[in-house]
Amino acid sequence: MATQEEVLAKMRASIEDYDKEAAVAAAREALEAGIDPNLAMEEGFAKPIRALGEAFDRMEIFLPQLVMAADAMKAGVTVLEEAILASGSTLEKKGVVVLGTVEGDIHDIGKTVVMAMLQAGGYEVHDLGVEVPTPRFIQAAEEINANIIGMSALLSTTMLRQRDVIELLCNKGLAGRYFTIVGGAPVTQKWADEIGADAYARDAVEAVKVLDASREKWA
Ligand code: B1M
């Protein structure tokens, strides 16, 4: 059987080669080898896609290549996601979350990972998808009687929409009604503090920890 490092190398290569089938096969191999799906997600998929993002930045690769790499990653993530979800299937419901990528932003891989981790951690998550209009976060939270509004943003331009949602909550007299959590590559604790978000998480694992530590706010 291949070693952990060999399997992770196959996962990385599948993203670098923009190869969906190889990504799915390598993700399955990682699970069969007993590799922690969170470790596989970070080391096998997230690292190479970020490296390709930097290569795109330096104009060493073009957008279609980045899209193909992201497609390969999404296919592989689906396999890992199932395993992460299965690991949390018997947990109690700790809170109800509406989660989405903010208006004008189509990045959904990180949000999908956050959703899987929250579900595995015992949260009921309603995925609003990408490019979610600002009022939709609040409307959805009202409709399903959620406790938490989660907003993902990957662009320094669209992170401003996180602030819009929080401002709209205040304008509607709903400040404090929902616990707000923000994240995404350009988002920082400083930004979360500045816009009055209740919490910030650097990654999906931290999102679960942060919400777990704040449960008395809605329980
Ligand atoms: Co885009 N993109 N992209 N992109 N892309 C970035 C974000 C960028 C940094 C790349 C770069 O230039 N180096 C750059 C943004 C620059 C900036 O604003 N600072 C960028 C750009 C510019 C763009 C376009 C504008 C490019 C163009 O058209 N010229 C365009 C945007 C279109 C739009 O949204 N309107 C665009 C498009 C795309 C693709 C379609 C090619 C593809 C997305 C495919 C998809 O999502 N279906 C793509 C990708 C893949 C990336 C990079 C390379 C990787 C993102 C990713 O999936 N990471 C990215 C570079 C980077 O991030 N360094 C980049 C893996 C994922 C697991 O991590 O999403 O960070 P991440 O999520 C993490 C944490 O951030 C956190 O937990 C997650 C899991 O650990 N987290 C949360 C995320 N959301 C959270 C919410 C929480 C808590 C934690 O609470 C609610």
Instruction: Ligand 1 pocket test: pick from 112, 154, 202, 203 the residue with the most ligand atoms within 8 Å of its Cβ.
Output: 154
Output the pLDDT for position 117.
Answer: 79
pLDDT at 41: 87
Q: Is 57 in the pocket of ligand 1 (CB under 6 A)?
A: yes
pLDDT recorded at residue 141: 98
The pLDDT, as a whole number, for residue 81 is 83
Per-residue confidence (pLDDT) for residue 90, from 0 to 100: 62
Mean pLDDT of 153-177: 97
9-23, 54-68, 90-104: range with highest mean pLDDT: 9-23
Q: pLDDT tens for residues 96-141?
A: 999 999 999 999 988 988 888 788 688 989 999 999 999 999 999 9
pLDDT of the residue at 70: 85
104 lines ligand 1 (CB under 6 A): yes
Whole-number Å distance, alpha carbon 23 to ligand 1 midpoint, is 19
Model-level pTM?
0.88
Separation of 184 CA from ligand 1 center, angstroms? 8
Residue 84 confidence (pLDDT)? 80
Separation between Cα atoms, residue 200 and residue 202, nearest integer Å: 7
| CATH hierarchy code of domain 4-86 | 1.10.1240.10
Architecture category of domain 96-218 in CATH: 3-Layer(aba) Sandwich (3.40)
Cα dihedral 162, 167, 169, 174 sign: positive
Q: What residue spans define the domains of the chain?
A: 4-86, 96-218
CA 108 to ligand 1 centroid distance, Å: 8
Q: What is the DSSP letter of 202?
A: S
DSSP 176: T
* Buried-exposed string 64-97: b where 16+ CB fall within 10 A, e elsewhere: eebebbbebbbbbbebbbebbeebbeeeeebbbb
Structure confidence by residue, pLDDT tens digits, 14-47: 999 999 999 999 999 999 999 988 889 889 998 8
**Residue 194: how many other CB atoms lie within 10 Å:** 10
Residue 92 has pLDDT above 80, yes or no: no
To the nearest whole percent, how much of the chain has pLDDT over 90?
68
What confidence category does residue 183 fall into, taking pLDDT thresholds of 50, 70 and 90? very high
Spatial separation of the C-alpha atoms in residues 116 and 133, rounded to whole Å? 22
Residue 57 is predicted with a pLDDT of: 78
